[in-house]
């Protein structure tokens, strides 16, 4: 039996030389150490031997088993290492290759204008609020001193969903909601940007859907002077430090007195040109002192509180600022139009 064991070991050594993969290695392990292996057979044959032979042959079996186990293990480690190495060379990536440039797009010009205006008013202590675009007639009109049948309702012809529900024609209902929700009746300083809707026929200067930003300040002793100071800061920030502003009397049902606000022309500085149509002034927004009826309906005692409000259209501001002559450009997703703001965008983020 000793001779047979030696023969087995020689055969094993011979076969081991040809093993060059982990799967062949595993086959060899099964053949030489598995349940049906020769070694197993020899072990079972031990019981028929004399005690003397048992010792000698048993040792030879054990030595051979250990030898096979050890050499299989050693080869496994080497094979695993070389498999890893070949993976590392085959799957090597060149991290110095230039990357694929991602097209990041730009912020829409209207969003940009809204962001700029939000940032300015936040710096002056205002909160930015939004609200539903589908509104009740009550918040959109009645609470703003526009009862049913009021002639000024005609200037804000609406998309009605039912007799009492419509697409908001301005963002003032957000301000009405804010005043009503403020049960302590503490001072208010907010701007409300968002989408608004009017039943207009679309043309170069009209759109059935447009953006609006309204502002509202309510406190004790708020005067027209606060309104003027605030809007002057706004005009200078949006159109340049040299800008002056001018108030003209106007009419809105929700403010009294009401005004129209002009800035000195940023193109000619006031001398008169085709942009300001020779007048030296450009209209940018409407404003006024909050009508006492509005304050009272919203739970603010108009004897104690006063406030100012204003409303502007970011589309108009962007058109003036960037020299755009058709409002429809903002809504048709023409990349040739939008990509022109790439440069403005990069200047804004100080990229090269």
Determine if 28 is a binding residue for ligand 2NL (CB under 6 A).
no
Q: What is the Cα–Cα distance from 185 to 219, expressed in whole angstroms?
A: 9
Q: What is the Cα–Cα distance from 102 to 100, expressed in whole angstroms?
A: 6
Determine if 214 is a binding residue for ligand 2NL (CB under 6 A).
yes
Which residue number, 234 or 252, has a Cβ lying nearer to ligand 2NL?
252
Which residue number, 68 or 176, has a Cβ lying nearer to ligand 2NL?
176
R_g (Cα) of the chain, nearest Å: 42
Site string for ligand 2NL, 271-310 (x = CB under 6 A): ---------------xxx-x---x--------------xx
Residue count, binding to ligand 2NL (CB under 6 A):
16
Nearest to 249 by CA among 260, 263, 235, 241: 260
CA angle 117, 159, 215 (to 5 degrees): 20
Minimum distance from CB of 262 to ligand 2NL (Å)? 13
Residue of the chain from 126, 139, 254, 266 that contacts ligand 2NL (CB under 6 A): 254
Minimum distance from CB of 211 to ligand 2NL (Å)? 13
Residue nearest to ligand 2NL (CB): 311
* Cα–Cα separations (whole angstroms), residue 71 to 22, 161, 194, 314: 13, 85, 77, 80
Determine if 245 is a binding residue for ligand 2NL (CB under 6 A).
no
Which among 17-25, 84-92, 105-113, 172-180 is the span making contact with ligand 2NL, rule CB under 6 A?
172-180
Measured torsion, CA atoms of residues 104, 109, 114, 116, in degrees rounded to the nearest 10: 80
Which residue number, 44 or 154, has a Cβ lying nearer to ligand 2NL?
154
CA angle 212, 315, 211 (to 5 degrees): 25
Determine if 320 is a binding residue for ligand 2NL (CB under 6 A).
no
The two most distant CA atoms of the chain are separated, in Å, by 127
Minimum distance from CB of 347 to ligand 2NL (Å)? 30
Strand-pairing partners, residue 351, are none
Minimum distance from CB of 193 to ligand 2NL (Å)? 13
Determine if 218 is a binding residue for ligand 2NL (CB under 6 A).
no
**Owner of token pair 């804000």:** 156
Alpha helix segments (H runs only) across the chain: 2-17, 22-33, 38-45, 51-90, 109-123, 137-140, 172-181, 224-239, 292-297, 314-322, 335-338, 342-348
SS3 label, residue 131 = coil
Tokens linked to 185:
């009746």
Which residue number, 32 or 310, has a Cβ lying nearer to ligand 2NL?
310
Minimum distance from CB of 310 to ligand 2NL (Å)? 6
Minimum distance from CB of 142 to ligand 2NL (Å)? 12
Which among 4-12, 26-34, 249-257, 336-344 is the span making contact with ligand 2NL, rule CB under 6 A?
249-257
- Using CB under 6 A, list all residues that contact ligand 2NL: 172, 175-176, 214, 216, 252, 254-255, 286-288, 290, 294, 309-311
């Amino acid at each position: 039996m000793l001779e047979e064991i030696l023969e087995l070991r020689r055969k094993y050594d011979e076969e081991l030389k040809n093993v060059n993969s982990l799967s062949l290695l595993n086959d060899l392990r099964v053949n030489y150490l598995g349940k049906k292996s020769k070694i197993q057979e020899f072990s079972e044959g031990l019981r028929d031997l004399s005690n003397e032979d048992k010792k000698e042959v048993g040792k030879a079996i054990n030595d051979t088993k250990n030898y096979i186990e050890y050499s299989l293990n050693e080869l496994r480690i080497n094979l695993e290492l070389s498999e890893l190495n070949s993976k590392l060379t085959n799957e090597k990536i060149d991290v110095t290759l230039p990357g694929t440039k991602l097209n990041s797009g730009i912020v829409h010009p209207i969003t940009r204008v809204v962001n700029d205006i939000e940032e300015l008013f936040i710096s002056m202590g205002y909160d930015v609020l939004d609200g539903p675009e589908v509104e009740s007639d009550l918040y959109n009109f009645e609470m703003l001193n526009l009862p049913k049948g009021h002639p000024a309702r005609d200037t804000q012809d609406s998309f009605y969903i039912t007799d009492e529900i419509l697409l908001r024609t301005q963002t003032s209902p957000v301000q009405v909601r804010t005043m009503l929700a403020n049960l302590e009746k503490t001072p208010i300083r907010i701007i409300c940007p968002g989408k608004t809707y009017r039943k207009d026929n679309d043309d170069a200067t009209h759109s059935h859907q447009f953006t609006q930003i309204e502002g509202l300040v309510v406190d004790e002793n708020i005067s027209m002077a606060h309104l003027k100071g605030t809007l002057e800061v706004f005009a200078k920030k949006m159109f340049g430090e040299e800008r002056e502003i001018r108030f003209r009397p106007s009419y809105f049902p929700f403010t009294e007195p009401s005004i129209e606000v002009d800035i000195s022309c940023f193109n000619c500085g006031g001398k008169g040109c085709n942009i300001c149509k020779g007048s030296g002034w450009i209209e940018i927004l409407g404003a006024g002192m909050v009508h006492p009826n509005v304050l009272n309906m919203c739970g603010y005692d108009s004897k104690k509180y006063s406030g100012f409000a204003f409303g502007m259209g970011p589309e108009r501001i962007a058109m003036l600022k960037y020299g755009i002559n058709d409002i429809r450009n903002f809504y048709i997703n023409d990349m040739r139009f939008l990509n022109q703001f790439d440069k403005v965008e990069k200047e804004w983020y100080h990229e090269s």
